[in-house]
Structure formats: C-alpha cells, structure tokens
Structure 1
Amino acid sequence: MGRPYSVRAALRAFLAESLAATRPRATLAQRRAFHEYFVTHLPSSSLSPDRQPSAHRLPRNESQPHSGPSSRAAQIAQSQQASRDTTIVRIPIKSAKHHFGAGVSRGSRPYNEDTYQAGTIEMPSFAKRQPMSLNRRPGSEMSGEAAKSELGDPQVFYFGVFDGHGGGECSEFLQERLHGYVEEAALLFGLESSLQKGGAANANALDSEGGIMGEQDPEDLQKSLVSSWRETVGGYFKRFKPEYFPAVTNHSGPEPPETLNNSSIETVLTYAFLKADLDFTAAQASKRTEQTSTSSSMDDPVLSDKPLNENDLLFHPDRPASQNLRHKPQRPSSSPDLSAPIGGSKRFQGGSTASVALISTPTPVPFWHPASPSTLMVAHVGDTRVLLCRTSDGKSVSMTTNHHPDAPVEATRLRRYASTFTTDSFGEERMGGLANTRSFGDVSSKRVGVSAEPQITKADIGPGEYAFAVLMSDGISAVLSDQEIVDIVKEARTPAQAANDLTGFAVEVAESADNATALVVRLGGWERRSEGGGGSFGTKEQRDYRKSEAENPRARRQ
C-alpha cells in the first residue's frame, strides 16, 4: 500500500473540505437534480375540458345562424389558437405505462436483491446534432413536445438496473446515489453540450467558478482518482489505466476516437462509476465485521489464534482497514441521506452489477416520437443486459457483453492478477468464487482486478429505427435467449404489460428462479414492433414448449 497518505493527497483533501465549507453551493441548489418524472407540454384543453367556455354564450332563442365564410374562418383560427395554448406538466415515468414499464419478481429466493431506477437527469445533451437539411413532417414537433431542461437542452433520460449479490446493500446504494455521481461528474468535468455552440450549457453549469470542488482540471481529476485507487486498494490497481481516461491511458497504435477527450461523456461516466465504487469500497473497509466487534468472539480459542487483521479486507501492517477512510468523502448533493453509512452499519462483503442507459435527443421532441432521432449511451458492469429491437427485421441487438471469466477480453485482463480460475459444477468459470469479473463492491476481490470500470456503448438511433429497449437482470437473460426476450415484448400492448409478462415467463420456466427485473422503454418504432421478421412467431413454438414443460414438472424427469 505504501505510506498511509501522501502530502499531496492530504493537501488535496484539506483544500477540498475548505472550499466546500466556504464556497456557496448555489450552483447545485439552483440545478434541477434527478427526478422520477419528465416534463412535457400538453394542450390546455386536455387538462380540464369542462372549464372551456361554451360555444353558445347566448340563449338559444337569441342565437343567430352563420353569417358566411368569414365567421367560419374566424372559428377555425380561434380553434387553432386554442390548440397551440399548451401547459407544462410533470408525468411520473414509472406511472406512464405507455412509455415505460418495470417488472420485478423475487423468483424462488426468500428476498429480492435487484433494484432499478428511472427518471430524468440534469446534464448537458450528448445527442448527435442533426444536419440542417433534414426536413421533418410539419407539425410533428407539436405532438407530445417535451420541455427543455434548465441547462437549455432537451431532457436526458436515465434508466438503470442493478443486480445485487450477497445482499441488497450495494444495489440499493446504486439505486439511490449513482445518478448523483453522474450529475456531479458532468459538473466537475465541465461537460459541454453537443447542441449549443460556445459551451453555453457548460458556462451555466460551472457558474464561472470551475466546479463545486474548486479550480480542478479534468486531467487532474482522472489522475487523482486513479491514484486514490492505487493507494487505497493496490494490487491490480497499481497498473490501472481506464480505457476512457485520456490523461492516464497511453494510446499505442491507432489514435483514440475524436469524441474521446478529457471532458467527453465516456470519461464522465467512467469517472462516476469508479468514484461511486471507491466510496463504497472504502466505506466497507473502514467498518469492523460483527465477528471482530463483539468481545465474546475472543473467548473462543480458535478465533483468538487467528491474526488480528484477518478481516481487514484491504489490510496493511501499518494501516488497518479502520483507518482507510480518514476524512468523509465528497457525496453527490442529490443523495437522499448523506449522513447514513454506505452499505449499512456492518461491513458488506457482497456487491452488485449495473447497466445504465442514458437517452438524449437533439430536439425537444421526446425520444419515443416516431419522427425523433436520439442517442443512446449504455454504461455496463457485470452480467445485466441491455437489448434493442430493430424495427426493420424484428431482431434483437445486444448493447452489452457479460463480464465473465470466460470472456476473451476479461480473461486477458485478469489472468496475470487472479490467483486461480476455477470451473464450478455447472461448467462456468469463476474467479475467486465470483461469476462476474466487473462489479461494484466485492471488497475482498478488488486486489485481483474486480473493478467497476464500465463498458460503454453508444448508438445513434434514427427516427423509428428501433421499437423498444429492454434492461434486465440475469434472472431473465440467463433463462431466455435474446430473441425470446424481444418476442415476448412484441406481443404486449404496453411496455408496462411487456415488463410483467417478461418477468413472469422467466420465473415460470426457470428450474430455480433467480431475482428477475425487467425495464421496457418505448422507442420510436413501437407501433411497428410486429412488422419485421414475422413478428413474434420466430420463437413462439419454442416458448410454448418451454411453458408446457414447466407446467408439467414430471415431464422433465423422463
């Protein structure tokens, strides 16, 4: 581990705490943080139609017939003016069953360790700018037009699925706080809007003061975070060079993509994931386990002979785990309760996977509109999955890859650090008892390379190119194939019904049902989801057979 804290790290922590205490937090207070609803425009007539003035203001005996074309034209103009009168409303995403659906089942487990999140996040747009020559259907912008955010850009939607293992402490932490880390990272790095010229959104976000932590350069933020991992954990992280940290990674061979810079959306997401995992890991290492905290355990002759630092997962002879956290780490302002201990009062040795999808549009038209393009950004850790359904042929398109030891990229990355790779009775490779090589938490496996560095995938979606997106835990993806999942969603009328049907079918056909969570997000081609590839008939026979086999358990024994 080296020295407990270097002079540079101590000075950096002191300056951060001093600036946080003296500098006003008006910038964060004025920002509209993460919300579980989206803001949109609706015609005023749809809010309270009974309050509209009657067309016949005079008694019937005093009314007069039409006086000619002029009065008809005036009536049409008046009706068009009324239709343009709109009102801003807030619609909860989790209640908008025609746009979003969530299905949750604990399966055959005694409790559910999966969590999910859905809402809008306050950050500059990263959508691909559309060419000026792109012509749209007149009036399409008025149908379900979404309001802009306070930064001046269209709203950025946030969806996430978190699959906990060993308990729900880590998945609940990600559900409540990960979106805050993303917002905080976008503010710290000065993420510039892809739609506004001159960085207008960036100027509003930074408020000419250089971020909430003081004058910090994006390169210093990257180097400081990697240095914190190296000093706190060591092991694998002594040579840690995240892919989307240009200030740390030495690119050999082809040049990095143009969008990869010190303030890109990929760098922001990587920093948010790694910073959240560092805070969670350090918080668990600073706690004592229940075994060491009770004096009765020392009366046992077997326990008393064990080394004193056996339970210090990040132990060092000169720095026990209880001293790994000298100062209170900086927390996102949108966290619900910063005073509560991360991961509970006892040391949590489990972890959680995560799949987060961010959707941004170049125009105020929402992403589910058939004429609206959008940009999808997926940050993924572990074996949760994100799928898209292509409208043209009805095929599934995977946006993620399971981070398992048998994956070629993960095997090459970890074999030099992992002590052993084993194969369990099901024929699956494991590293230190873990099936995932990337996850949040799992403190005891951090030294051998289990990190929360996300795999980031970006997709520019054209108008109506994809019908829907599905985010799910391994309780569904380990039981059903990608095409089966997509075909089940096609048969539902609404995304809410599709999510419930998907979780119900996965739990029904599984021999030992795991926790199952599914999020279905409507995209522009939802109404055409059954056109390409013969609809859902491709896997219908297979699904019917699996369902009949599940209903007759005796058939499996023959």
Structure 2
Amino acid sequence: MTLLAARRVTGRVWTSADRYSSALLRARYYSSDPALPNGQSTAKKQPQFHDYFVTHLPSSSLHPDPRGPSSPFHKLPRSASVPHTGDTPQSPASASASYQALIDRETTVVRIPLRSAKHHFGAVTARGTRPANEDTYQAGVIDIPAFAKRPPTSLTIRRRNNGDPLPKPRESRAAETASGDPQVFYFGVFDGHGGVDCSAFLRDYLHEYIQEAAVDIDLKSSLQLGAEMPPSNSELPVMQEGNRNKLGDLEKSLVQNWRRIVGGYFKRFKPPHFSYHGLESDDPSISNHVSIEEVMEYAFLRADLDFIKAQASKRADDLVQAERPLNDDEIFHRPSMTRSPKIGGPNRFKGGSTGSVAMISTPTPTPFWHPVGPSSLLVAHVGDTRMLLCSTTTGEAIPVTSNHHPSSPIEASRLRRYAATFVTDSFGEERMSGLANTRAFGDMQSKRIGVSAEPELKRIEMGPAEFSFLVMVSDGISGTLLDQEIVDIVKESRTPEQGARDVVNFSTEVTKEGDNATCLVIRLGGWERRLEGGVGSLGTKESREWRRQDATDPRRSRT
C-alpha cells in the first residue's frame, strides 16, 4: 500500500508539521499517473547512498583467468609484445589478437567499504574530557548527477596510428552509476552543541536532502553536451540542465516559510545563490540550466527548516505528552512502521550543530585519488568545522573554509542589526547572545537574530596530483592545532587512516580544553608525493615536539 493510499484508508488529517517533518515520507516518491488504469501509482527512482565505492579489478587478480590470450606474449617480437602502449605498431594478426584479448579481458566489479579502505580514507573521533561525544561524520557515494567540468576531447579520445579510437580499458577505474556518470563521493563532519540530536540528524539525512533536491528539479549531468561550460579563466559556475521553474517554485516556497514561521532576520532573507527572482527571462539557456551550488544551498536551508519545525511542534513541558510511551506514535508499537517520523528525540531540542560537506566529482571514471585524474571539489560549510588542502608542490596547508564567528567582519556586518548583544568572554572570544557560531543548523531560539544555515559555498577544480590530501576537522582540533601542524602530522603517516588517528591523538594530548575531536583524511592524487613539497613535515616538527613535551611535563599541573 502506498503512502497516499494509506492516507485515504486511515482518514488521518496530516498537519503542516507532518508535511515538513521529514523528506522520507513525502508523497513525491509515488506519483499517480492518470494514464494508468484504476489510478495506479508508479514509484519513482529513489536515490541511494552507499558507504562503499565500486571499482573494476581484473579477474586475474582474484583468481586465475582461464580465458587468456591464445598466443603467449613471450613468443612475439618485443615491439609487438607491449600491448599497453598508446600507439600500437603494425604487427602480425596474432599480436593484434593478443592485444585485443588483454584489453577486453574479463573484469570483476568489487565493492570496497569506504570506512575500512584505510589507504583511501580515514576517520577517527574522540570524546575528549566531555561527558559525551557530540561530533558525527558521514562518508559514502551520493546518488546525484556529476557536476565536474567536461575534459577536453583531445584528452578523452586516444587513437591508434591509423586514426581509429582505442577501446576503453576497463581496469583501474571506478564503476559508473546507474545514470552512466562516475561516482560522486560525499564526506561530511558535524559538530553538535547542546546534544547530539542535530548532528545525528545531519549525519543521517543531509545527503538525502541533496539527493532529493536533484531529483525534484530533474538535474542532469554536467558531462553531457547540454551542460554549459564557463571559460577556463572564468569564475562562473558550471550550469547543468534542470527544471529552473520547479527550482524557482521550491525556492520561493522555502523563503516564504522562513519569513512566515521564523520572521526576524528572515523577513528580508534572500539567499545569495537563489535566483528565482530572475525567472521572468524567456531565454531558454537561463530557464533550463541550474548550478549545483544553488541546489546545495536549497538543500541546506530546507534541512534546517525541517529540523526547526520539528522541534517547534514538540511540547516538552506537556505533562500528558511526557507520560506517553516513546513509541506511542508508531503503528502497533513497531519502529519500522511509524506514522510520522520524528526528527531528534521525543523532547524539544534547543541546541544545534555545525556542518561541513565536501563532494568530489570526476569527469571520467578515473577515481579522484588517481595521480592522472582531474576532479572537482565542492565545499558547503556552516559553522567552525574546518577543511584543509595540502598542496603537493609547496606542502602548505590551504584553508578551504572560514570560521563563522562574531569576530568575522562579514558575519559581524551581517548580524549587527539583529543581534541582541556582542560580548567578549574571559578567553577573549567574541560571542553573539552567548553563541560562538553565527551560522549553524538548529539553535531555534537564535534564528530570529540571524543564526542560519546559509552555507559558504566554494568550488575548486583540482588538477592531476595538484593536492596531496584533504583534511576535515572539528573545532576540537582546529582550536588546538595550527593548520600547518595538522597537515604536517598527516604527511608523516603511511595511510589516511593513520593520519586521522595521529591528528586526533596529538590534539588530545596537547589540548587544555578536552573538546570532542574528529578528523577525516581523504587521499587525493598527490598522496605519494606529500613529503616532497617545501620542507615536507619539518616546518612544524620542532614546535610539535616542544608542545608534546610541555603537555607531558609533570610540573605543568602545578601552574
């Protein structure tokens, strides 16, 4: 029975809170087609999120391949026995057959769990001295169209001497998705405050909001010919085919809901990447194209609105509600058949969470960690979690995000008209109405004065082996260690997983606050050359040794 049918049978009246509570039960998963008999419903494709990536490996690496070339290579002339060269020389028919057999040999699709692929990704989190760990993180493959720039044709088509294109080898590449695009990788770190409700919600559902926004507007791949590529020296976004009118309607509805429900700062709210006000143009190149940045901003603000509305609908001070069992709202008291999904716990959650998301898309099936493969990095950031890139050439730490604190000139000018007070605490940190972050998910009591989940968006086109790795850390680490110290610690590690563990261990060892610490390390194309740039990891080695000795000095506790 579909959700729409269930609503007709039960006769239950759905409130606005139910409609906005979660994207999981929205009726858009099912569409009633009048062309079908008896009003049958057809299910739309539901986006999938996997915590593993898929790749091709030759069968010979898993088990002996009995269907090898008919003629052994050692009996061929040397000029004809090197089948992997770009230009195959003129050779006998037997050599051509052997070459084709090697190119077309059977490959096996392998699923590799991302969280246990320590040579590609590492994530470590620690509670510190806090009563609970409110940090969460997520890593996987997100089901959205590719947003990378198309590579030049000269780089994608390899030809023989006679001009014929070479067959595409199926080895050393990632598997394509159901849509035919290369896999898009998703990494996120979320630092909760006041509890884990909001950070856990973002970990479990934020990627679904991004996927569903792409499905709603019928977003197409940037790798197809209909996508518009900006000039190489331009900062304009990559425009992909999509339903601009549908996205404009969604943006209008979202902004109106913020203004009507929250008010305050949001009465004159205009997200910077929303462009629904320009829909009057009849130019098809504008009406049929959208950017992934606009989709991300809509998904972030939509997730925040759903979380705020869910908390506002709860009655934590209602004694009758408090006496009801936690699963009273479930059908037959079974968690798998809930009538209205809950966001957060049973009581109203007044805290919030930061959120930093990194998505990596490649123009070809070559994975983003391959030394010869370019890729596009899209960063969406809210709060004071931090992302760093390590330059392969110089070895320097390149900050990708900025801290959304009251001390930031951009944030201060945005909020001084709404904030009740700007104060400086005993540690010298400026706060707004007691909050350290001016942008965050949740924090329902501070929304009217301007605390919002408007993401800081940045797109970086990464050339082959231009960067060695990407680091994502919570403020428990970035507030203790310098950016270059974090990068240098990862340089000395053998794997990304070890690098994440070393960063968390060192931060926990030298910290004076004991905050939750989370570190994610993502391998990029220049990983093998991470120690070659500049002075390697020696730039901060002496200072790190001094900090470790000072932290372990028994006389430190006396001061």
Residue aligning to 1:99: 120
Tell me the amino acid that sits aligned with residue 131 of structure 2. Answer: P
- Corresponding residue number in structure 1 for 2:399: 398
Distance 1:336 1:493 in 2: 46
Match of 2:216 among 188, 200, 206: 188
Question: Match of 1:534, SS?
Answer: coil
Do the aligned partners of 1:241 and 1:248 also contact (CA within 8 Å) in 2? no
Q: Residue 520 of structure 1 aligns to a residue in which SS? A: strand
1:223 aligns with 2:252: yes
Counterpart AA for 1:26? A
1:118–1:278 Cα change, 3 Å: same
Per the TM alignment, residue 419 of structure 1 is displaced from its structure 2 partner at its CA by 1.0
2:31–2:42 contact (8 Å) kept in structure 1: no
For the residue of structure 2 that corresponds to 1:357, the secondary structure is: strand
1:198 to partner: Cα distance: 3.5
Give the partner amino acid of 1:85. E
Secondary structure of the 1:416 match is: coil
Question: What is the aligned partner in structure 2 of residue 205 from structure 1?
Answer: none
Specify the SS of the correspondent of 2:266. helix
Instruction: Tell me, yes or no, if structure 1 residue 166 matches structure 2 residue 186.
Output: no
Note the aligned Cα RMSD (angstroms). 3.5
1:247-297 CA distance string (max 9 Å, x none): 2599xxxxxxx99997210110000000000000000001112x4436999
1:293 has 2:300 as partner: no
The alpha-carbon deviation at position 512 of structure 1 amounts to: 2.0
CA 1:554–1:339 in 2, change beyond 3 Å: closer, same or farther?
farther
Q: Is 1:152–2:173 an aligned residue pair?
A: no
> Counterpart of 1:279?
306
1:239 aligns with 2:253: no
CA offset digits 1:5-31 (Å, max 9, x no partner)? xxxx99x99xx97766653453224x5
- How far apart, CA to CA, are the structure 2 residues paired with 1:149 and 1:373? 19
Identity score, percent: 58
- Report the alpha carbon displacement of residue 133 of structure 1 after superposing the two structures with TM: 3.0
What per-residue deviation string (whole Å, max 9, x for no partner) do you get for residues 367-423 of structure 1? Answer: 000000000000000000111000000001111000000101100100001111111
Q: How does 1:1-400 map to 2 (within 5 A)?
A: 22-23=31-32, 24=41, 26-29=43-46, 31=47, 33-49=48-64, 52-53=65-66, 81=101, 84-134=105-155, 144-198=172-226, 217-248=246-277, 263-289=290-316, 291-293=317-319, 339-400=340-401
1:476–1:506 contact (8 Å) kept in structure 2: yes
Asked if 2 retains the 8 angstrom alpha-carbon contact of 1:190 and 1:263, the reply is no
Gaps of 5+ in 1: 1-8, 56-64, 201-207, 251-257, 298-334
Amino acid at match of 1:28: K
Q: CA deviation at 1:191?
A: 2.1
Partner of 2:234 in structure 1? none
The answer to whether the 8 Å contact 1:39/1:146 transfers is yes
Shift of 1:143: 5.1
Assess, with a 3 A threshold, how the Cα gap between structure 1 residues 337 and 430 changes in structure 2: closer, same or farther: farther
Q: CA deviation at 1:555?
A: 3.7
Q: Secondary structure, in 3 states, of the residue corresponding to 1:463?
A: coil
- In 2: Cα distance, 1:528 partner to 1:130 partner: 24
Q: Deviations over 1:89-114 (max 9, x none)?
A: 11111111100000111111121110
| Structure 2 residue identity aligned to 1:180 | E
Closer/same/farther in 2, CA of residues 82 and 136 from structure 1, 3 Å limit: closer
Q: State the alpha-carbon separation in 1 of the partners of residues 368 and 362 from structure 2.
A: 6
In structure 1, give the amino acid aligned to 2:62: L
Shift of 1:158: 0.2
- Alignment-mate amino acid for residue 39 of structure 1: V
Residue 28 to residue 152, structure 1, CA distance change in 2 (3 Å): same
Mapped to 1, the partners of 2:362 and 2:310 lie a distance apart of 37
Query: Structure 1's 528 and 18: CA in aligned 2 closer, same or farther, altered over 3 A?
Result: closer
- The one of the two structures with greater contact order (alpha-carbon pairs below 8 A, sep at least 6) is 1
- Return the alpha-carbon distance in structure 2 between the equivalents of residues 151 and 545 of structure 1: 53
* Alpha-carbon distance, 1:136 to partner: 9.1
Per the TM alignment, residue 69 of structure 1 is displaced from its structure 2 partner at its CA by: 5.1
Distance 1:66 1:197 in 2: 41
Q: Which whole-Å CA distance do the structure 1 matches of 2:339 and 2:52 have between them?
A: 23
Bigger shift: 141-150 or 401-410? 141-150
Which string of whole-angstrom CA distances, capped at 9 and with x for unpartnered residues, describes residues 500-539 of structure 1? 0111110110012111111100000000000011110000
In 2, are the aligned partners of 1:549 and 1:556 still within 8 Å (CA)?
no
Q: 1:132: how far off? A: 2.1
Deviations 1:232-257 (A, max 9, x none): 1111100100010012599xxxxxxx
Quote the Cα distance in structure 2 between the aligned partners of 1:137 and 1:540. 45
What does 1:536-555 correspond to in 2, within 5 Å? 536-555=537-556
Q: Which residue of 2 aligns with 1:505?
A: 506
Give 1:463's aligned residue: 464
* Residues 540, 196 of structure 1: alpha-carbon distance in 2 compared, 3 angstrom cutoff: same
For 1:20 and 1:228, locate their aligned partners in 2 and report how far apart those are by CA, in whole Å: 22
Contact 2:29 2:44 in 1 (8 A): no
Change (3 A) 1:219 1:239: same
Could you say which residue in structure 2 is the equivalent of 1:415?
Answer: 416
Deviation at 1:131, TM superposition (A): 1.7
Q: Secondary structure at the match of 1:134?
A: helix
Aligned partners of 2:422, 2:253: CA distance in 1, in Å?
32
Per the alignment, residue 328 of structure 2 pairs with none
